[in-house]
A and B are shown apart, each in its own frame.
Chain A
Amino acid sequence: MIKLRRLERRYPLGKEKFFYVLRDINLDIEEGEFVSVMGPSGAGKSTLLHILGMHDSGWAGEYFLAETAVHHLKPKERATLRNEQIGFVFQQYHLLDDLTVYENLDIPLSYRRYSKGERAALVADMLDRFQIVGKKDLYPSQLSGGQQQLVGVARAIIAEPKLLLADEPTGNLHSSQGEEIMELFRKLNDEGMTIVQVTHSEKNASYGKRIIQLRDGWLVRENR
């Protein structure tokens, strides 16, 4: 599903000086895998996730996603590929404050080629699947953190991506809410969805089938 070769991300510090966030990353992730990325703060976990999610384009190396050479794609082509293949879950949920739950779920669909009817059906299906029908007209500020992240996950998968990227999805939740979200991830993975999550929590990492350790931008260890 994902193949990274000699992937590098750096920021200029001065004349011919660079700060490396990621160095020489070589990584393969198979379809249907559930991978947890761990490491101390500043190790480059989130950067790796944003590169995988194609939010960041200032990297060097090779990145293949489902056999497509992302490093050869133009920005528009990358955006199309991203919209077809990837869903993203954020630590801070990042729901849009002035949109209702229903409207938040509708956003990703509005950026893809779905008809109005299809969008309505998909949103309704998602509300039903996540059992949040009763909250569809509420605003994010009217939901608990767990409920907000639930909506965040629903929003990430509503466009039926093959790959789900999650950046510390339970970082802002208390333990029971976190467990609920991780169970949901496991279920999604069981249904065939490839998941890559960034986490600090050993417990949450254990939900995955493989753990990748990053330190100072280097991929230092892989545990299966």
Chain B
Amino acid sequence: MMNDLKFAFRQLRKSPGFAAIAMITLALGIGVNSAVFALINGAVLRPMVPLRANEVVRVFTARQNASHDYRQFSHAEYRELSQNGSEIFADLAADEFAIVGIGRDHDIRRSFAFLTSENFFSLMGVRPLVGRFYNAEECRPNANLQVVVASYGFWKRMGDGNDFVGSNVQINGRPYTVIGIAPEGFSGVSALVAPDVWLPLGVHAQLNSAFTGSGTLHDLDEPKNYTLNLIARMRSGLSVEMAKSRLPTLAHQVNSIQPSGFEGARDLQIQRPSRFSIANSPQDDGPITLVATLLMGMAAVVLFVASLNLANMLLARGTTRAKEIALRLALGASRWRIVRQLLFEGLLLAILGGALGLIISLWCNDLLLHSLGRLLASGSVNFSLIVNLHPNAFVLCITFLFCLIATVLFSLGPALTATKTDLVNDLKQQPGEPAGVGRFSRFFAPRHISVMAQIALSLMLLFSAGLFFRGALKASALNPGFVAAGGLVTELDFSLVKKEQPEARRLMFAAVQRARELPGVQSAALATMVPYGNFTYARRIMSMREALPTDPKVPDPGVSALFTATTPGYFDAIGVKLLRGRDFAQAEAENKDTTSVAIIDDEMARKLFPNTEAVGQHIRYTQPPKDGSPNDLIVVGVVSSHRHDVQNDTLNQPLFVPLAQVDTADVFLHVRLATKDRNAVVAFVPTLRRILRSIDPDLPVISIDPFADLLEKSVGLWVIRVGALLFGVFGAIALLLAVVGVYGVKAYAVARRSREIGIRMALGARRGDVFRLIMRQGALQTALAVAIGVFLSLSAGRVLAQILYEVSPTDPFALISASLLLATAALLACFFPARRATRVDPIVALRTE
């Protein structure tokens, strides 16, 4: 075995050119696979729950009607389930997502935070890295004991000092004592991101009332305060199905404790926790799993193409080594012994290529993480990215497996072929083609089949890349229905500073007013949501003409609407046209007690009032406001339709209400300048910042960005572009490999056919005839491979259809471009060997006999 290894090393040293090309080919194939696998391992496979993850489930509550209106749990419901659910749950914990302001004065940064019950950490199976987690007393509703557990990432960002535990951190304007640090890599309920801090449920009211001050709505003891998500560890030995069968009894108990005005009987549901979504309804990670599978599939195709490429090289090498192999066989070596030796050479190449591939994969994934980190850092909310894409033992093992697979793929066939020798002939080392069995057989010789497979598979990858590029181009060129150029968006979050609500409101309106008065400003307005922003809030609405169903089993008849509260001038500020009716009045935006009014867009108007003018009609929420305010809004205006997201959002049309109708601390100040020049817009930022500071130095300005830049930072757009980039890389590598493969095979074929070419020239063939001979075969093989590739591409398109953006899975432009690109590249790869063939000297070729 060691001798084989030594000999393999010597063989590679003897042909450094071949070894280098083979290693680069393998490095590309294995590197892509390692990179994708590390990505999938980090995001999809790595267990989110460190301890016996299969026992942990999310618990949901849904109304027993057709539309299953999901909501979160009240603290009372959580208590009830904790106390009486022991037959199903070994442990049950509550958690709530929040955004908090960490720091003081001008150094406040918003951060992701999770409020949890005291048993959350033990349920997940983690111990503190340093210090302790909070206790039951600290988690008691309204305990208001200001303690905090820092995430590992947050501790690192704060300078990872030894005295961090015990220090104070300012959260939403109050001092919290750091009591512990969560272990590295622990992200809680998300596989990708970890919050900066973990807080006990006991500070829930204090944290939320920082801005609004309306205490009862934020009191965890309030029975209608449905704010908690539940996560449970099932009793040992209980399957999800068994647990599900026991849930109705528990649901009945929960229903029995509902307060007056009970909304109807509810069911309990359980599901394995989603890795990427925090929601009050069961979420399916299927699309992510599909993307992961597709990525891995495409990467596998790249490895296969690389292996085919290398197999061709080895087939060619096998021919040149035929004499050596024949000699070994003549000296008594068994066929298996030779095959083993050739496999060793392959494995050595694969391992060297794999090591190089690992470096490539590390580099690629660092780039990807860097890009993701930059995108998320621009999101003005802090958290720690948990995805670790550095190769661990598992990734290394899988990479080694890729090496083994590649070895079998690329070296077994050539090894078996090389050892199936004609001893006498090979010992004489007669060059040239083997005894003929026809042009058909030569056309479909293994190396040609292999190269045709490479072309076909590469076309499939190129077509897939083309589909994603088309999507990315469409997403970039999409008309959103609003005008981003010339707009500036400033985010203000008053929950981060100690301001009472009236004062905060006064400052918000003062900011709008001062912005409007600035020279060069066309309009300015406030809104609670920004188009293409990463946070949305939806409510279901319906026409007042239709009755609210009394039967709880009837599905919710409402239409889902993206809910935005604004001030007058908002539509001018974002470049949306008021088609009919009027904008909100200043009084409506400032005073909650005026008549409730709303503005909808053209599409929503058509949806709610198909044959009537929408302006003047009345609408209502299907879930009445919790604060008891009237559930009747008059539509006073209809605006032109515009998108909220780069993704298809026709299902979610907007509903606008005056700002006074919502208690919000987080608002966006939209300013439209008279110019659309980006430089002028960027140059205006310091002016705007100075004016805002002049209103109040403590104004919580989170960010000021050109509107156009915000669109570019959209996560949806990033996902589409990264998809295009990833598939583009696959396509480019496959194209490169295919071109190298075609060139290699053609060059080899020309070298092998020099005798034949010489004969043909001696019989009257001109250079043009020889050129056509080589090119014709190349063209026919390319045409056949492209035809098969088109078929494969269309099949791949059907699989990709689910994750494509606004592109038909049979997009003719992508298909034709990919086919032409590949055919041209393949023919170009044939061109040079064909040209070389025309320079064959018939005398020299014939004398090689």
Contact = CB atoms under 8 A, between A and B. Distances in A.
Given A50-B843, A90-B846, A97 B764 contact: no
A188 to B, nearest CB: 17
Interface in A11-64: 50, 53, 55-56
A76 B843 CA distance: 18
Contacts of A98: 433, 436-439, 441-442
A111 B433 contact: no
Contacts of B434: 97
B843 A107 contact: no
A99 interface: yes
A99 B843 contact: no
Interface in B465-514: none
A99 B439 contact: yes
Interface in A73-107: 76, 79, 82-83, 88, 90, 92, 94, 96-100, 107
Contacts of B769: 110-111
B436 A76 contact: no
B821 to A, nearest CB: 32
Contacts of B764: 79, 82-83, 108, 111-112, 159
A219 to B, nearest CB: 20
A206 interface: no
B759 interface: yes
A218 interface: no
Contacts of A68: none
Given A98-B437, A111-B769, A139-B437, A55 B756 contact: no
Contacts of A119: none
Contact of A76 (B432, B433, B760, B766): B766
A111 B438 contact: no
B762 interface: yes
A159 B765 CA distance: 13
A201 interface: no
A48 to B, nearest CB: 12
Contacts of A99: 436, 439
Interface in B746-770: 755-756, 759-766, 769
A141 interface: yes
Interface in B141-192: none
Interface string B433-467: 11111110110000000000000000000000000
Contacts of B436: 96-99, 139-141
A82 B759 CA distance: 14
Nearest to B770: A111
A79 B781 CA distance: 30
Nearest to B761: A55
Given A112-B764, A139-B438, A92 B433 contact: no
Interface in A116-147: 139-141
Given A88-B763, A155-B763, A96 B756 contact: yes
Nearest to A51: B843
B765 A111 contact: yes
A169 to B, nearest CB: 14
A212 B432 CA distance: 34
Contacts of B432: 97
B786 to A, nearest CB: 25
A90 B758 CA distance: 12
B849 interface: yes
A98 B442 CA distance: 8
A92 B846 CA distance: 9
Contacts of A111: 760, 763-766, 769
Interface in A136-173: 139-141, 155, 159
Contacts of B765: 107, 111
A55 B763 CA distance: 10
B842 interface: yes
A108 B763 contact: yes
Residue among B762, B763, B769 facing the most chain A CB atoms (10 A cut-off): B763
Contacts of A141: 435-436
A6 to B, nearest CB: 22
Interface in B388-446: 432-439, 441-442
Nearest to B441: A98
Interface in B762-789: 762-766, 769
B435 A55 contact: no
Contacts of A88: 762-763
Contacts of A140: 436
Nearest to B766: A79
Contacts of B842: 50, 55
Given A53-B762, A55-B761, A108-B764, A94 B846 contact: yes
Contacts of B761: 55
Contacts of A55: 761-762, 842-843
Contacts of B442: 98
Nearest to A84: B764
B435 A97 contact: yes
A7 B846 CA distance: 23
A55 B841 CA distance: 8
Contacts of A108: 763-764
A50 B432 CA distance: 22
A48 B842 CA distance: 14
A56 B849 CA distance: 17
Contacts of A82: 764
A155 B846 CA distance: 17
A83 B846 CA distance: 19
Contacts of B437: 98, 139
B6 to A, nearest CB: 39
A97 B766 contact: no
Contacts of B755: 94
B433 A107 contact: no
Contact of A107 (B435, B438, B441, B760): B760
B755 to A, nearest CB: 8
Interface in B801-848: 842-843, 846
A82 B745 CA distance: 32
Nearest to A87: B763
A76 B766 CA distance: 8
A210 B763 CA distance: 26
Residue among B437, B438, B755, B846 facing the most chain A CB atoms (10 A cut-off): B846
A96 B756 CA distance: 6
B287 to A, nearest CB: 52
Residue among A97, A99, A110 facing the most chain B CB atoms (10 A cut-off): A97
Contacts of A97: 432-436, 756
A198 to B, nearest CB: 13
B843 A96 contact: no
A99 B442 CA distance: 10
A7 B30 CA distance: 61
Contact of B849 (A92, A110, A112): A92
A159 B281 CA distance: 84
B453 to A, nearest CB: 22
A43 to B, nearest CB: 16
Nearest to B758: A94
A155 B843 CA distance: 19
A94 B762 contact: yes
Contacts of A107: 760, 763, 765
A90 B437 CA distance: 22
Contacts of B435: 97, 139, 141
Q: Top 6 nearest A-B pairs by Cβ distance?
A: A97-B436, A98-B436, A111-B764, A141-B435, A83-B764, A94-B759
Given A53-B762, A82-B764, A159-B764, 16 more contacts: A90-B762, A92-B846, A92-B849, A94-B759, A96-B436, A96-B759, A96-B760, A98-B439, A98-B442, A107-B763, A108-B764, A111-B764, A112-B764, A139-B436, A140-B436, A141-B435
Interface of B: 432-439, 441-442, 755-756, 759-766, 769, 842-843, 846, 849
Interface of A: 50, 53, 55-56, 76, 79, 82-83, 88, 90, 92, 94, 96-100, 107-108, 110-112, 139-141, 155, 159
9 contacts: A79-B764, A90-B759, A92-B849, A96-B756, A97-B436, A98-B436, A98-B439, A111-B763, A111-B766
